[in-house]
Structure 1
């Protein structure tokens, strides 16, 4: 896979940036947590990584095996702080840093936090710091959080991530198909085959780039591409 230069200003990147800005600039009476949710592959994590750099946010991507203690240790490591001896001490450390620094916190893969029964721990961090916190998760994240009434009520905004569009594909093409122009008719096919997934669009753009370079195409079109295969995420059928 080639190394792309730069990052495309896709719709989800803009949504992610606006969500965290709204939390940071809210009035004091409003809650400070926002949630970006959507299916896998639409570019949520890429957007969050970019926005964390732009907004100087602390960013952690939760893992399925993390305990409450390990989650707090990960947050503190991101902050450059030596973790304390126990969970209450570490929680106070994280909350104090957020309050003093006025920097936001982004928690990616928040579904894992729910699965590990650590939702109230995040609420405690928020209550103690009043920091802007962006939660990122899968499509059912809002429904999963409904049973945590005290947490749910502190979410300022629920932002559904968008499925990849032709406009996104146009912005991705110059990054993943450098020196090759990709016609809109081929981009339409790529977006259709992607079924909403930005990841699949990127895979197919790199495939187009490879074929176009090998065959000397200055522009890749639907006609030139012909019946060549595009990645759809589906496993090929077994041929007997």
Structure 2
């Protein structure tokens, strides 16, 4: 049985290519997710096999998971807000390379059989939707009967939400919060989005702060820095040279009086 690695989305567009550098850049969250995956896949046989990767929107959780999915040849499913148990099972079976047919019970049994003994983890993104739709026990059953390593990805309140499901909560091996980007991460992104430009630490600090530590916003700001430096013929820039030029924070501009 061949388990499918992270899939290429069929609706991918040219815009998706702009995300690729953020996926492959060795940011701190990429390492954190890889360490989490190592722990859960390499755990002692008597330990539970679920882990939770959580944090605010925009912290790069999914991008780190994409990198980890490719590295660990994981089976990846991104849950939709309207998904039912049946839709979830069909999506997971499709990624496992199995026919997505039958009742929920039939499909769950097929999933369990496919994952039993597999060393490849399952990554379930947007797990908050599973909690909202109240089929966490389906995932617990798959975990318990297959012994598979399952990594759940969700928003910052996911651990609190899972406390309401005690039998599920007790099966979590590790909880790992995604971290905001820091100066080191921003420095790595300089080489991707503003190559050849020496961006001073004081400007990087300001960019990280204005961006809320979110990698995509940092990338947007570094691209603005690159554009400005190219126009001015600069190969180095600091806060003083940048001046009062605005940085992208994700907030719409204030209305003019």
Establish whether TM, by shorter chain, passes 0.5: yes
CA RMSD of aligned residues (A): 1.6
Deviation at 1:192, TM superposition (A): 1.1
Deviation at 1:163, TM superposition (A): 1.6
Q: Distance in 2 between matches of 1:172 and 1:22?
A: 27
SS at match of 1:41: coil
SS at match of 2:123: strand
Q: Distance in 1 between matches of 2:234 and 2:189?
A: 19
Q: Report the equivalent of 1:180.
A: 197
1:206-225 paired onto structure 2 within 5 Å:
206-225=223-242
Q: Is the 8 A contact 2:117 2:148 kept in 1?
A: no
Q: Distance in 2 between matches of 1:211 and 1:63?
A: 40
- Pairing partner for 2:45 from 28, 36, 39: 28
Deviates more, 1:140-149 or 1:204-213: 204-213
Unaligned residue ranges in structure 2 (runs of 5+): 1-14
Q: Report the equivalent of 2:176.
A: 159
Q: Is the 8 A contact 1:10 1:168 kept in 2?
A: yes
SS at match of 1:158: strand
Structure 1 position 113 matched with structure 2 position 130 = yes
Q: Is the 8 A contact 2:180 2:214 kept in 1?
A: yes
Deviation at 1:99, TM superposition (A): 1.6
Q: Distance in 2 between matches of 1:132 and 1:214?
A: 51
- Pairing partner for 1:96 from 87, 93, 113: 113
Unaligned residue ranges in structure 1 (runs of 5+): none
SS at match of 1:101: coil
Q: Distance in 1 between matches of 2:248 and 2:80?
A: 27
Q: Report the equivalent of 2:152.
A: 135
Deviates more, 1:4-13 or 1:80-89: 4-13
Structure 1 position 9 matched with structure 2 position 26 = yes
Q: Is the 8 A contact 1:44 1:161 kept in 2?
A: yes
Deviation at 1:100, TM superposition (A): 4.1
Q: Is the 8 A contact 1:7 1:175 kept in 2?
A: no
Q: Would you say how many aligned residue pairs link Structure 1 and Structure 2?
A: 240
Q: Distance in 1 between matches of 2:206 and 2:241?
A: 13
Deviation at 1:77, TM superposition (A): 1.4
